[in-house]
Chain A
Amino acid sequence: MVEKSLDLIDEKLDFDAIISTTRERALKRAAEIDNKAKNGEKIGKLAGVPFIAKDNFLTFGGRTTAASNMLKEFETPYQATAINKLEAEGAICVAKANLDAWAHGSSTENSDFFVTKNPHDKTRVPGGSSGGSAAAVALQMAPFALGTDTGGSVRNPASYCGVVGLKPTYGAVSRSGVIAAASSFDQVGPITKTVEDARILFDAIRGNDSLDATTFFDTQNIPRIAKEPLRIGVLRSLVMKDGIDADMRTSFDATLEKLKDAGHTLVDIDIPLASPALAAYYIINFAEVSANLARYDGMRYGHAASAGGGSASGGRGNTLLDDYINARTEGFGAETRRRILLGTFVLSSGYIDAYYRKADAARAALRREFEKSFESVDVIATPTMPTPAFTIGEKSNPLAMYLEDIFTITANLTGMPALSVPMGSVLRGGKKLPIGIHFTAPHQAENVLFALGAEVY
């Protein structure tokens, strides 16, 4: 299986989904597991199953880059907890997938290396920021991939590539060894072919971890819930907003009708703050990004100011401060710099109350609205994205790109779990483009998502 996976990766290089393979280590681990099996030793639930990790997971057997020039050469001294848990079950990481550098983006166009192409139409983006991971699963390179979701980065590419993507409850899966984007939003999630696979992988990676103090104690298996009628809240006002694709709405309504026919109840609900939430999300994202990236100083690891005066920024300077500035200026791409500058602004004295603290208060207000809605419904439905995959280069304005995240960011602001599953496709330029439906559930109610998701796909 591992060799077949590596062969497929080589065959489909032209999609630019993969940054590097961990071939040598993967083959060695496969041989070890084969031996164990022969000797009748315990080999784990995922023994020999190959998988692909987004390149912001620290993994042995090669480099971990976050698709950034800053970490182009970085080799980790330790592995991410999620990777260790999968390895303990016998799964084998075969490759590292492309992403928007540092997970800053919604299309994988912001990778410092190359742009990943959508498996269904090479002129279009795969979504992001886990675009390489979702494309790799859609291209059958491996049965599953790991992504990270800060504002939709698992669910958005799952929708654009026609696969399943889960963002678990914040705190369900350890973030240790995941290169941080926005720490209060980041959550590890599986990208799979089926809802059942998402459930199995979620079970394999979740759990308390002493290396991440935000993980909650949760050692019991989540029970499968029996097939029962659910109350599905439909965020109608948000779905009817300008800029939401008409075909997307039609497909969304048809999927809801099917669920209604299956015995579920549809309830129109309104969460007035779901729209301004996007502003709160980006303020907090910028703030946390700028704080998290302050550690890159070119001294301990990461890109160092280049020796000699060859580079645009003048190379290695005379003082420590010169070296900081040059290392960071050379190592960070345009979108990352934009977010660092904005984060520095919203956290600077004189503005912190009006921007950052206001956004965090709005976050509390949003969560209250969601919790109130969950008094009368079990799950909330929207499309995953406003449109099918857009063409590469189409959204050159950063603000237009941010608006893509309108349906996905509320789950990160509230910490609630959410799932994107394929709900069919729309025709664009003669190509069938997949689209996804998005369900949000209350904290730790992933089982509701799996039950409903499996009915749709």
Chain B
Amino acid sequence: MSRLSRDAVLKLAKLSRLKLTEEEIEKFRHELSEILAYVEMLDKVDTKGLEPTYQVTGLKNVMRADKEIDYQAKPKDLLKNAPAVEKNQFKVKRVLQ
């Protein structure tokens, strides 16, 4: 098991949109390495010829009638949890600097 490098942890944090303190980088580097070393026991399991199971029900192409479902939620209910709203829309920061 290759222990995770500091750079690898920073890359994961970047991909996860999380910011880590110096202390957390070290802590997670250690903990993540330990957990990954543990789960590598799976290497020994023979899965030749088996398709990965992504779901267990065996249901296929479940469709519903193309009808709107009335949740009885009004636009104002959907917007009330947002930090910033303008003209009945979510307001966000500029994308480009």
The chain A residues found within 8 Å of chain B, CB to CB, are 73-75, 77-78, 170-171, 184, 210-211, 213-214, 216, 273, 276, 279-280, 282-283, 290, 298-302, 304, 312-313, 317-326, 328-329, 332, 337-338, 340-342, 344-345, 348, 355, 357-365, 367-368, 398-399, 402, 414-415
Chain B residue nearest to A414 (CB atoms) is B56
The chain B residues found within 8 Å of chain A, CB to CB, are 9, 12-13, 15-19, 21, 24, 28, 31-32, 34-36, 38-47, 50-57, 59, 62, 64-65, 69, 71-74, 77-78, 80-84, 90, 92-97
Contact status A276-B41, CB under 8 Å: yes
Q: Once the chains bind, are A320 and B35 in contact (CB under 8 Å)?
A: no
A73 / chain B contacts, CB cutoff of 8 Å: 81
**Structural contact, A324 and B17, CB atoms closer than 8 A:** yes
Q: Which residues of A contact B64 (CB under 8 A)?
A: 210, 213
B52 A341 Cβ-Cβ under 8 A: no
> Are B53 and A282 in contact, with the CB atoms below 8 A?
no
Chain A residues within 8 Å of B93, by CB = 317-320, 322-323
| CB–CB B69/A210 < 8 A | yes
Report whether A279 and B41 are in contact in the complex, using a CB–CB cutoff of 8 Å.
yes
Known: A77-B77, A341-B16. A320 touches B9 (CB 8 A): no
Interface of A (DSSP majority class): helix
Closest to B49 in A: A361
Scoring B54, B57, B72, B84 by chain A CB atoms within 10 A of each residue's CB, the highest score goes to B57
On whether A214 and B94 interact (CB within 8 A), knowing A77-B71, A280-B42, the answer reads: no
Closest to B73 in A: A77
A348–B15 CB distance below 8 A: yes
The CB with the most chain B CB atoms within 10 A, among A73, A328, A361, A362, is that of A361
The residue on B at minimum CB distance from A323 is B93
Instruction: State whether A290 touches B17 (Cβ < 8 A).
Output: no
Q: Given the known A-B contacts A280-B42, A337-B18, are A361 and B52 also in contact in the complex, defined by CB atoms under 8 Å?
A: yes
Taking a contact as CB atoms under 8 Å apart, the answer to whether A332 and B18 are in contact is: yes
Contacts of B50 in A (CB 8 A): 361, 364-365, 368
When chains A and B are docked, how far (Å) is the Cα of A313 from the Cα of B21?
A: 9
Contact across chains for A361 and B31 when beta carbons are under 8 A apart:
no
Q: How far is the CA of A340 from the CA of B32 in the complex (A)?
A: 11
Task: Tell me the complex Cα distance, A213–B59, Å.
Answer: 9
Query: Residue A301 contacts which of B31, B54, B82 (CB distance < 8 angstroms)?
Result: B82
Tell me which residues across on chain B come within 8 A of A348, comparing CB atoms: 12, 15
A338 touches B32 (CB 8 A): yes
Give which listed residue, A184, A344, A402, contacts B16 with CB less than 8 A: A344
Partner of B55, one of A184, A319, A365: A184
Look across to chain B and name the residue whose beta carbon is closest to the beta carbon of A317: B93
User: In the complex, how many angstroms separate the beta carbon of B60 from the nearest chain A beta carbon?
Assistant: 10
- Closest Cβ of chain A to B38, distance in Å, is 6
